Structure 1
Amino acid sequence: MIRYEDAVNDALLRLDDLGYERGAGDFSNHGPMAAEALAALGHGDQVATWVTRYRGAMEHHEPPTPRFGIDLADASSWRPALGEFGRVGEWEYAFRRELADAPWRDVLTRWWPRLIPGMLSGLTHGPIRTAHAVRSLAATPTPSDTQLTEFARALAYWAARFHPLPGEARLHGASSLGSAIAALPRRSPDGSPMPPPERLSRIGEHPGYHGALDAVSPADPQWLISEMTAEFAGVYLAHPEVFPVPLIHGVTAPAAIRLVLPHLPTELHSPTLAALWQVHVALLLAFTTDRRDEDRAAALAREEDVPALSELIARGAEHVDEHVIKFTEACAREYALRPDARYPAALHAAQQRIPAQGVAAVPSD
């Protein structure tokens, strides 16, 4: 059996020549994330085969030429470059230089508070890719240059696709997460149907958006992450009418952030979770127009005839689609911490809704 560390390094080498995005829709490069998740599931021997299939599924953009141009020590240099995807090569070069001079945990701690206002980056793929890179680094006493390069690229993608949402969330309300979700109105600003990208671009106009940002009460971060992943597993289960990929990030994003919290100062935990809640509000308003069966999701999950979690994990590991692989790893890990029927039920639903040959994701922005 191939060790986790060996599987990850081999995958990163095989994926090294791919750009940050792929296809005509500028979809995020999921290769490093899904390969790491597959190795974390204990299926390191399947990673190389999966990478070969992934490379052939869709043409990736050319990787940018690393160029010097952003001085990470000078805020007047790097702040204007946030959200400038055309400068992603400069971001990558700058982060590589910083990692050559400082331990990766120091770089993470320095840049995390600067980047969390853009948590939506690439539909959360910026922070998710960063989290997978962090887990890889933390699992290795002496990280390889390949792993450090992937960490630099993850941060670069987050910075280059930086997408701040209007307003600022703070966890100082009086509602539980479930109550705050239930109270959120799900109609477009003018009451007319709009496609998700337009709803997302006008998110600040949605009734209830700004009020929702301060609705959730403060809580232990680890417990709140469990609330987020369980509630949004239920949201995913309740919305078969929604394109099957975007709402997955309501689970995979907080599950990924859980991997990073142990490596961050405690004072960064609360603002991180607040930013995640703001992203959740945006996802709900952009991709759902009503609550459907959200209030019954937990009961429906308990009533469904769902295969055993071990069987779902095996199916997820064999599934070609990268979203299913990441969702499988996230749900399995979250279920181990807090057994809840919504995780396997949502995972079963995703494996049925997303075909084995994969589906196109939602564009980064």
Structure 2
Amino acid sequence: MKDNESVLLEAYQRFHQTGPEWGGHHLSNHGPMAVEAMIRHGHADSVHHWIDNYTQRLEEPPRGLDPVTENDWREALGDLKRVADWTTLFHREVTERPWREVLATWWPRLVPGIAGGTAHGAIRVGHVVHSMLTAEARAGSVDSIENPYVTELADALGYWAACWTPVTGDPSRRLGSLRPADALANVPTVADQQKGVPYRLSQLPTTDGWQSALGALRTVDDPEQVPALLSQLIDATVFRYLDYGHGHAVMLVHASTAPTAVLRVLPALPRRLWVPSLDAAWQATAALTAACTPQLAADRADLTVHTNGVATTEDAMALAVDQGDEHVIKFADTAVETFTRTGNKDALAAASRCAELITLTEAAGRARFDGRGPTS
């Protein structure tokens, strides 16, 4: 039987033959993220079968248009047509310098646009950096361009740069004192939630209370306080999913997985970047919360989800892998970490709720595709 790292590296190599999106509607390739979570939680034996199914929807890597250089990279930020140009740039960067140096250079350039592409670029970076740190702790340097870890980091950074989109508001100017759960509860919802997330986010500048809510999270001056506050933010989003996930079952997942990605990257970053990273993670989380939270919470008495049969973190991940959706897997990955930190079984219930809601969403989508209309 192959060890977990061998399976992960093989998985990365398979995904490096595919493009970063699929379906023609800017749907992100979640494969490298999902398989990293599956393997870390003991499901390596399921990975290649999962990839066999998942890659059927993926496209070939796009072709480049015009090289991105150190002189013009600012103009190319956020241009999805240039994703191959960005990826080429980062492949060159990681051949010339250690990956940590590349990350330290580009992280402060990219993190203000973390919300672009529903934060998928940053989330993909978070998963691969987490695996690279683990590999380095076990075996030393991974700084070789032939190493699939480094290739995956270059692809992830390239996609992030191409998706880069800033969100209205300056989170670094906050003077608030609220703990994360209260700050999230204070975030207003956008008025029109009938269209996609980019349209919803475009409403933030005219949403009453948005800027004040963005400034309400308690301030942090000491970088050493960042991991704890970021963890509390992640935990608050996981617990909120149980009550509000029905608003947008898929997209609200990213309000949890985006700050999780930042938390996982912190150990690889200079301390001077920790507070700005927290600011960006809070801004992205608040924006996705505003865009995807319904007006009314679910009635706990009416929820069919429960923790019977999902009593442990192993149960939660097994349920997610069995359900198979990439968002369910990634959310369960975050939710089990919340349960490990807090011992609160609402985290496990949230993971189960996510599997339930996304299963219903998929069923409704299949019904529409078959011409029967959405299921009840």
Taking structure 1 as the reference length, the TM-score comes to: 0.88
* Structure 1 residues without counterparts, runs of 5 or longer: 361-365
Structure 2 CA distance for partners of 1:223 and 1:193, relative to 1, 3 Å = closer
CA distance in structure 2 between the partners assigned to 1:358 and 1:147 by the alignment: 32
Residue 73 (structure 2) pairs with residue 78 (structure 1)? yes
Mean Cα deviation higher: 348-357 or 112-121: 348-357
* Matches for 1:27-176 after TM superposition, within 5 Å: 27-56=27-56, 58=57, 60-66=58-64, 69-72=67-70, 74=71, 77-140=72-135, 141-143=140-142, 144-170=146-172, 171-176=174-179
Question: Given the alignment, which residue of 180, 183, 194 partners 1:180?
Answer: 183
Q: For the Cα contact (< 8 Å) 1:187–1:289, is it kept in 2?
A: no
2:230 maps to 225
CA distance in structure 2 between the partners assigned to 1:181 and 1:277 by the alignment: 9
CA distance in structure 1 between the partners assigned to 2:53 and 2:359 by the alignment: 15
1:353 maps to 357
Q: For the Cα contact (< 8 Å) 2:21–2:27, is it kept in 1?
A: yes
Structure 2 CA distance for partners of 1:181 and 1:103, relative to 1, 3 Å = same
Residue 219 (structure 2) pairs with residue 214 (structure 1)? no
Q: For the Cα contact (< 8 Å) 1:119–1:276, is it kept in 2?
A: yes
Q: For the Cα contact (< 8 Å) 2:193–2:200, is it kept in 1?
A: no
Q: How many pairs align?
A: 349
Q: Which amino acid aligns with 2:159?
A: Y
2:288 maps to 283
CA distance in structure 1 between the partners assigned to 2:66 and 2:210 by the alignment: 40
Residue 209 (structure 2) pairs with residue 205 (structure 1)? no
Q: Which amino acid aligns with 2:69?
A: D
1:340 maps to 344
User: How far 1:126 sits from its partner (Å)?
Assistant: 0.8
Give the secondary-structure state (helix, strand or coil) at the position aligned to 2:7.
helix
Q: For the Cα contact (< 8 Å) 1:131–1:256, is it kept in 2?
A: yes
* Structure 2 residues without counterparts, runs of 5 or longer: 366-376
Q: For the Cα contact (< 8 Å) 2:12–2:32, is it kept in 1?
A: yes
Q: What do residues 19-53 of structure 1 show as CA deviations (whole Å, max 9, x unaligned)? A: 11011322000111111111111221221111111
Q: What do residues 321-358 of structure 1 show as CA deviations (whole Å, max 9, x unaligned)? A: 11111112221223223322221010010111122996
Question: Given the alignment, which residue of 241, 258, 264 partners 2:263?
Answer: 258
Structure 2 CA distance for partners of 1:331 and 1:273, relative to 1, 3 Å = same
More helix by share: 2
Q: Which amino acid aligns with 2:189?
A: R
User: How far 1:69 sits from its partner (Å)?
Assistant: 1.4
Give the secondary-structure state (helix, strand or coil) at the position aligned to 2:166.
coil
Q: For the Cα contact (< 8 Å) 1:301–1:345, is it kept in 2?
A: no
User: How far 1:240 sits from its partner (Å)?
Assistant: 4.6
Q: For the Cα contact (< 8 Å) 1:321–1:356, is it kept in 2?
A: no
Mean Cα deviation higher: 140-149 or 113-122: 140-149
Q: Which amino acid aligns with 2:248?
A: F
Q: Which amino acid aligns with 1:121?
A: G
- Greater relative contact order (CA < 8 Å, ≥ 6 in sequence): 1
1:363 maps to none
Give the secondary-structure state (helix, strand or coil) at the position aligned to 1:232.
helix
CA distance in structure 2 between the partners assigned to 1:316 and 1:194 by the alignment: 28
Give the secondary-structure state (helix, strand or coil) at the position aligned to 1:165.
coil
Structure 2 CA distance for partners of 1:3 and 1:357, relative to 1, 3 Å = farther
User: How far 1:292 sits from its partner (Å)?
Assistant: 2.0
Q: Which amino acid aligns with 1:290?
A: Q
> How much identity, in percent, do the aligned residues show?
34
Q: Which amino acid aligns with 1:112?
A: W
